[in-house]
Chain A
């Protein structure tokens, strides 16, 4: 099951050229771009990149992250530090595992035969580090 998280996630995966164009847009707006990957939580891959002028630096970082974590979700975040925003303005996936196992709906019986529902990813059946 395809995970849809962040911007553009209902579109086909972005090509590198499209990613570069998006990053250029972020840098034009003076947003600090960072790269994150996930296994259990979203972990930072290196520091957020401030004061960049060209997307080449971010692209090399994305490619380094893909090389290190080829089968993980990787996302690019753009942080806007201007007063009043001070938040992530754009976030999108740039890498996903070839096989996305999807989610299970778990039903638990509680007091008085009440049904409780929870969602859990099949990926978490395996221990951390071997999930994707």
Chain B
């Protein structure tokens, strides 16, 4: 009676985790520090279950996380994936993600906040609670703001129900720094502070390809070169939001592609309908602005 099947949390095994990390590599471009941390966590959980099998003491690792980074660096996307990763690693029981913002936690009247926050916490148990733009919970300019109350209840749950709940906070780096300054207790209860780096031009290009694929579009060679040029110009401009800017640029390229074909849709074949060419991208205001030396946000 050796134990191939008896411990459910060993079901994933080393092979399963390898496959999971490979999936992650394929689906997420760049983000080396994020992937490294996920690998560490996965390794720890595997080692822990091996230790348990040997009868060694195992402490539940704290998996509360904080994601910081510039807009469009994939914080929300990774949080969504995190829930299913932790589920596959056997760390959370249900693997669902409850995404909330300030509105869902903080009430409008005295005594309204605590039940509201508790309800959200109860819904998130067995899965991951993702608080986007977490710094909005604190409004330092209003000392009677109820955000602080929500944070205290959150802290209590993070402390007392570690095995039921994983909390992920996300927000822009500078604002989160201010947020943690006013809540030192919160900062120390979060084991993993992960910073999401900006993407390089090459990574953004790969992201563009990854985004186009499910939409059923592709770049031709000219468009590829033009888009690389576009990205270079866009990265210099203000309000650059990494992958989100790429998505917006692709949406606009699709619009231009559509209006180029307008009037001859009947003759268009499959190839024409799915190929974005250089002129769809070169018509962008960003490139024209860059040529004229004008800075124009978009």
Binding site for B on A (CB under 8 A): 46-47, 49, 51-58, 60-61
Residue-wise, chain B 88-101 has the 8 Å CB interface mask toward A (1 for contact) of 00000110100000
Chain B residues in 8 Å Cβ range of A60: 122, 125, 161, 164
Most buried by B among A47, A54, A55, A60: A54
Q: A46-B115, A56-B165 are in contact. List 7 more A-B contacts (CB 8 A).
A: A53-B125, A54-B93, A54-B126, A54-B127, A55-B126, A56-B122, A56-B164
> Is A56's CB under 8 angstroms from B126's CB?
yes
A22 vs chain B, min Cβ distance (A): 16
Whether a CB of chain A sits under 8 angstroms from the CB of B45 is no
> Is B115's CB under 8 angstroms from A52's CB?
no
What would 24 A/B residue contacts be, using CB atoms closer than 8 Å?
A: A46-B115, A47-B115, A47-B119, A49-B119, A49-B122, A51-B123, A52-B123, A53-B96, A53-B125, A53-B126, A54-B93, A54-B94, A54-B127, A55-B126, A56-B122, A56-B164, A56-B165, A57-B121, A57-B122, A57-B123, A57-B164, A60-B125, A60-B164, A61-B122
> Is B127's CB under 8 angstroms from A53's CB?
yes
A24 vs chain B, min Cβ distance (A): 10
Binding site for A on B (CB under 8 A): 93-94, 96, 115, 119, 121-123, 125-127, 161, 164-165
Cα–Cα distance between A51 and B115 once the two chains are bound (Å): 15
> Is B94's CB under 8 angstroms from A53's CB?
yes
Chain B residues in 8 Å Cβ range of A52: 122-123, 125
> Is A54's CB under 8 angstroms from B164's CB?
yes
Cα–Cα distance between A66 and B297 once the two chains are bound (Å): 59
Cα–Cα distance between A61 and B125 once the two chains are bound (Å): 12
A76 vs chain B, min Cβ distance (A): 14
B142 vs chain A, min Cβ distance (A): 28
Nearest-neighbor residue (CB-CB) of B157 within chain A: A60
Cα–Cα distance between A3 and B189 once the two chains are bound (Å): 45
A132 vs chain B, min Cβ distance (A): 26
B155 vs chain A, min Cβ distance (A): 15
Cα–Cα distance between A36 and B189 once the two chains are bound (Å): 34
Chain A residues in 8 Å Cβ range of B125: 52-54, 56-57, 60
Cα–Cα distance between A61 and B122 once the two chains are bound (Å): 9
Chain B residues in 8 Å Cβ range of A58: 122
B125 vs chain A, min Cβ distance (A): 4
Most buried by B among A46, A52, A57: A57
A38 vs chain B, min Cβ distance (A): 22
Most buried by A among B93, B94, B125, B164: B125
B220 vs chain A, min Cβ distance (A): 46
Query: Which of B115, B119, B161 is within 8 Å of A56, CB to CB?
Result: B161
Cα–Cα distance between A53 and B121 once the two chains are bound (Å): 11
> Is A53's CB under 8 angstroms from B119's CB?
no
Nearest-neighbor residue (CB-CB) of B118 within chain A: A46
Cα–Cα distance between A61 and B119 once the two chains are bound (Å): 10
Task: List 5 A-B pairs, minimum CB-CB distance, nearest first.
Answer: A54-B126, A57-B122, A56-B125, A56-B164, A53-B94
Chain A residues in 8 Å Cβ range of B119: 47, 49
Cα–Cα distance between A47 and B119 once the two chains are bound (Å): 9
A37 vs chain B, min Cβ distance (A): 17
